[in-house]
Amino acid sequence: MFFDNQRLNGDIEKVEENLRNSVTSKNKLLVKAIADTVGAGGKRLRPAMVIVSSYFGKIRQENLIQLASAIELLHTATLIHDDVLDNSPYRRNNETVYKKYGTDMAIYCGDFLYTKALLMLADIVPANKLTIAARAVKTICEGEVDQYRDKYVMNLSVPSYLKRISRKTAVLFSASCALGALCAKCNPRITNSLSKLGFYYGVMFQLIDDFRDYKSGDSEWGKPVYNDLSKGILTLPAIYACRDSKEIHKRVQNYWNKKVNTNEELNSIISLICSSGGMEYTENYIKRYRQKALREIDKLPQSEARDILGDLINKLHI
Amino acid sequence: MFFDNQRLNGDIEKVEENLRNSVTSKNKLLVKAIADTVGAGGKRLRPAMVIVSSYFGKIRQENLIQLASAIELLHTATLIHDDVLDNSPYRRNNETVYKKYGTDMAIYCGDFLYTKALLMLADIVPANKLTIAARAVKTICEGEVDQYRDKYVMNLSVPSYLKRISRKTAVLFSASCALGALCAKCNPRITNSLSKLGFYYGVMFQLIDDFRDYKSGDSEWGKPVYNDLSKGILTLPAIYACRDSKEIHKRVQNYWNKKVNTNEELNSIISLICSSGGMEYTENYIKRYRQKALREIDKLPQSEARDILGDLINKLHI
């Protein structure tokens, strides 16, 4: 079990059980395809954020489990669709729906899960708060379209990059915290801090993911490495390196223009980026967002929940 | 303008205007891709069903327009995703998002629209009624997965076919009527009849669409014809023909097995199906569902709205 706190672990276990039971349909193929993905695990960080945020208020246990499960299903839906776009055969060391059943099934499984998740949310979240979840999905789509638009674009600015990962990743973490707090009837000051904390945590999470994408041979997260650059996506280490070194800039450009696109060239560019100072530059940003998140913690009332959050923030590292 | 009734036409015009204004995002590419599809028109039959159903009760005009627009956006989202699966370059004589911008954009535009639509619905539909819309989307996905599962399957039964088109098409028409009636606070008896009427109308609509798919050279609906069989999909005319004639059965099977898969062979099989009695068989089903829909009309209070519905049902023909 990933988390140190017993109460949190207990609740996450209930979420796991609920996830196993919540995807039902008379269509057996759909259920199987989805169960493979939902069951494949992952750290359940978003449900954890929902749950810990709710600890600052009061909520019926079954509603909390339902809320946290819905957020994880929403997240799973985005993953299933992402895998189509990235042509990803594996995620978390399992075959993706895309690889196993094809594009058709992956699109519909994602749509089905989006809807299932919004249905579950509509059951427990007050209608005027439901927009937080829907707006999060809307923003994730915008972030993914940003990424599509930015493909093979050199000279991407750091603010553009930060905006993209905010939309793509941080907004759902933020919504997780906000919904957990709101449904537990926390006061607006606490809800606001938790929402910000979730946002900074999400940026940090994506920065670390992008950092690890450059760390060779590190397959702990179950993803193929060195993937972003080969897909035409510039993340922070490469943005720094291309800005800092004319040579790296030129070689990325040539690689993308397919003038030189062997695996050797890719590996060589990645080595250059890794030793360019891009990794330290990214680490610096990770530190900065960790501090932002920790500063929000200071605004929360002292409690076990606050300690868990501090622990979650500090445990997230490269 | 498609509809004969002035009040309905006025409301549909407001829906058109609302559709043009409702898709906003800071992401210009997303807005453009979606605007192309939403603006490409279509008969707006689903919004019309929402609107006419609401005439049996009372609803604020702006809420009605919002509700009808949301249903059309939901429908548009399913079309955008369908076009990816069907590799459709054109719809309603316009290039599809899939063709113009690729799979990536099409998936995200669909997701964005789904969410946007559910957001709009959450604004006006009471939370406990929102499930009607979400359940409709869930069912559409199941229907599309049915279709995927049934691909290249010979000996499909008529009940299986009817179940598939019910899920794929009829459920959204039914939900349109139900939501229109519910939001206009119609009594349960009227809501129930309208919901059933929408369902039968939807089945009829899909039967006609499938019938037309066999009608050569008929591109009035802006879709390429003879498409279903070549995609491995058996619809009612072919189901009848394959059951009735061993020769047609064998030739479809061989065509799918790629033993003979020239365009000439496809056209020849289609001619055989057209003269097999399959078209008359399908027409018979269309008649049956028209009668079912008209029987529900008899249960509704005499009114202008009832006349419009009768007109809509009778205007839908092969």
Q: What is the DSSP string of A277-290?
A: THHHHHHHHHHHHH
For residue B305, what are the β-bridge partners?
Answer: none
Average pLDDT estimate for A217-225? 45
- Does the pLDDT value for residue B220 go beyond 60? no
pLDDT for res A242: 96
Backbone CA torsion sign across B261, B263, B268, B272: positive
Tokens of A171: 């907004």
Distance between CA atoms of A218 and A265, rounded to whole angstroms?
A: 20
User: Which chain B residues contact residue A122 at CB under 8 A?
Assistant: 122, 127, 130-131, 134
Scanning B42-81 for CB atoms below 8 A from A yields: 78, 81
- Does the pLDDT value for residue A139 go beyond 60? yes
- Does the pLDDT value for residue A122 go beyond 60? yes
B137 to A123: CB separation less than 8 angstroms, yes or no: no
Average pLDDT estimate for B144-160? 88
B107 to A108: CB separation less than 8 angstroms, yes or no: no
Contact status of B31 with chain A (Cβ, < 8 Å): no
Tokens of B217: 């050279």
Query: Domain A6-143+150-315 belongs to what architecture?
Result: Orthogonal Bundle (1.10)
Among B108, B131, B137, whose Cβ lies nearest the Cβ of A144? B108
Average pLDDT estimate for A166-181? 95
B138 to A115: CB separation less than 8 angstroms, yes or no: yes
User: Which chain A residues contact residue B80 at CB under 8 A?
Assistant: none
b/e map A45-73, b = 16+ CB within 10 Å: bbbbbbbbbbbbbebeeeebbbbbbbbbb
- Does the pLDDT value for residue A225 go beyond 70? no
CA–CA min distance B85, chain A (Å): 5
Q: What is the pLDDT of residues B276-315, one digit of tens each?
A: 999 999 999 999 999 999 999 999 999 999 999 999 999 9
Contact status of B103 with chain A (Cβ, < 8 Å): yes
The residue to which tokens 């006419």 are assigned: B52
Nearest CA in chain B to A86: B104
Is residue B69 within 8 Å of B194, Cβ to Cβ? no
pLDDT for res A135: 82
User: Which chain A residues contact residue B137 at CB under 8 A?
Assistant: 111, 115
For residue A91, what are the β-bridge partners?
Answer: A94
B145 to A111: CB separation less than 8 angstroms, yes or no: no
Contact status of A114 with chain B (Cβ, < 8 Å): yes
User: Which chain A residues contact residue B126 at CB under 8 A?
Assistant: 127
A111 to B84: CB separation less than 8 angstroms, yes or no: no
- Does the pLDDT value for residue B248 go beyond 80? yes
Q: What is the pLDDT of residues B53-106, one digit of tens each?
A: 999 999 999 999 999 999 999 999 999 998 887 778 888 778 888 889 888 889
For residue B95, what are the β-bridge partners?
Answer: B90
Which residues in chain B belong to E strands, given as ranges? 90-91, 94-95
Range of weakest confidence among A210-224, B15-29, B119-133, B167-181: A210-224
Average pLDDT estimate for B135-159? 86
Among B26, B134, B138, whose Cβ lies nearest the Cβ of A122? B134
Q: What is the pLDDT of residues A244-276, one digit of tens each?
A: 999 999 999 999 998 777 788 888 899 999 999
Q: Which of B218, B205, B220 is nearest to B45 (CA)?
A: B205
Is residue B96 within 8 Å of B9, Cβ to Cβ? no
pLDDT for res B261: 74
The residue to which tokens 């535009």 are assigned: B109
Determine which helix (DSSP H) or strand (DSSP E) holds B137, and give its type and residue range: helix B127-149
B137 to A115: CB separation less than 8 angstroms, yes or no: yes
Tokens of B225: 């014809």
- Does the pLDDT value for residue B199 go beyond 80? yes
CA–CA min distance B141, chain A (Å): 6
User: Which chain A residues contact residue B81 at CB under 8 A?
Assistant: 107-108, 111
- Does the pLDDT value for residue A197 go beyond 80? yes
A83, A113, A118, A142: best mutation site toward chain B, by most B Cβ within 10 Å? A118
CA–CA min distance B136, chain A (Å): 9
pLDDT for res A134: 79
pLDDT for res A128: 75
User: Which chain A residues contact residue B141 at CB under 8 A?
Assistant: 30, 108-109, 111-112, 115
CA–CA min distance A25, chain B (Å): 8
Distance between CA atoms of B254 and B247, rounded to whole angstroms?
A: 10
Contact status of A118 with chain B (Cβ, < 8 Å): yes
DSSP letter for B223, please: S
Give the confidence band of A26 by pLDDT, cuts at 50, 70, 90.
confident
Is residue B141 within 8 Å of A30, Cβ to Cβ? yes
Q: What is the pLDDT of residues A272-283, one digit of tens each?
A: 999 999 999 999
B24, B66, B107, B166: best mutation site toward chain A, by most A Cβ within 10 Å? B107
Tokens of A269: 């560019």
CATH homologous superfamily, domain B147-300: Farnesyl Diphosphate Synthase (1.10.600.10)
Among A25, A123, A134, whose Cβ lies nearest the Cβ of B119? A134
Q: Which residues contact B201 (CB under 8 A, 6 or more apart)?
A: B49, B170, B173, B289, B293, B312, B313, B316
pLDDT for res B216: 57
Query: Domain B1-134 belongs to what architecture?
Result: Orthogonal Bundle (1.10)
Give the confidence band of B153 by pLDDT, cuts at 50, 70, 90.
very high
pLDDT for res B19: 92
Q: Higher pLDDT residue, A216 or B240?
A: B240
Average pLDDT estimate for A201-211? 96
User: Which chain A residues contact residue B146 at CB under 8 A?
Assistant: 27
Give the confidence band of A19 by pLDDT, cuts at 50, 70, 90.
very high
Equal fold, B1-134 vs B147-300? yes
Nearest CA in chain A to B87: A104
Give the confidence band of B222 by pLDDT, cuts at 50, 70, 90.
very low
Nearest CA in chain B to A164: B27
A78, A148, A233: best mutation site toward chain B, by most B Cβ within 10 Å? A148
Give the confidence band of B36 by pLDDT, cuts at 50, 70, 90.
confident
- Does the pLDDT value for residue B228 go beyond 60? yes
B27 to A142: CB separation less than 8 angstroms, yes or no: yes
b/e map B208-231, b = 16+ CB within 10 Å: bbbbebbbeeeeebebeebebbee
pLDDT for res B85: 79
User: Which chain A residues contact residue B78 at CB under 8 A?
Assistant: 111
Distance between CA atoms of B146 and A27, rounded to whole angstroms?
A: 7
Give the confidence band of A40 by pLDDT, cuts at 50, 70, 90.
confident
- Does the pLDDT value for residue A6 go beyond 50? yes
Among B26, B111, B127, whose Cβ lies nearest the Cβ of A114? B111
Phi and psi for B165 in degrees, rounded to 5? -75, -25
| Most confidently modeled range among A306-310, B22-26, B126-130, B268-272 | A306-310
Number of Cβ atoms within 10 Å of the Cβ of A237: 27
Nearest CA in chain B to A150: B29
b/e map B44-56, b = 16+ CB within 10 Å: bbbbbbbbbbbbb
- Does the pLDDT value for residue A223 go beyond 50? no
Contact status of B155 with chain A (Cβ, < 8 Å): no
Give the confidence band of B1 by pLDDT, cuts at 50, 70, 90.
low
Average pLDDT estimate for B250-264? 86
Tokens of A177: 């915290």
Q: What is the pLDDT of residues A70-79, one digit of tens each?
A: 999 999 999 9
Tokens of A75: 């997240």
Tokens of B214: 């066999």
User: Which chain B residues contact residue A142 at CB under 8 A?
Assistant: 25-27, 30, 112
* Arithmetic mean of pLDDT over chain B: 89
Give the confidence band of A222 by pLDDT, cuts at 50, 70, 90.
very low
Kindly report each contact of residues A193-199 with a partner whose C-beta sits within 8 Å and lies 24 or more positions away, as own/partner. A193/A296, A193/A299, A193/A300, A194/A53, A194/A56, A194/A296, A194/A300, A196/A292, A196/A296, A197/A293, A197/A296, A197/A297, A197/A309, A197/A313, A198/A49, A198/A53, A198/A170, A198/A173, A198/A174, A199/A166, A199/A170, A199/A171, A199/A173, A199/A174
Among A84, A118, A130, whose Cβ lies nearest the Cβ of B103? A84
Domain layout of chain A by residue ranges = 6-143+150-315
CA–CA min distance A169, chain B (Å): 15
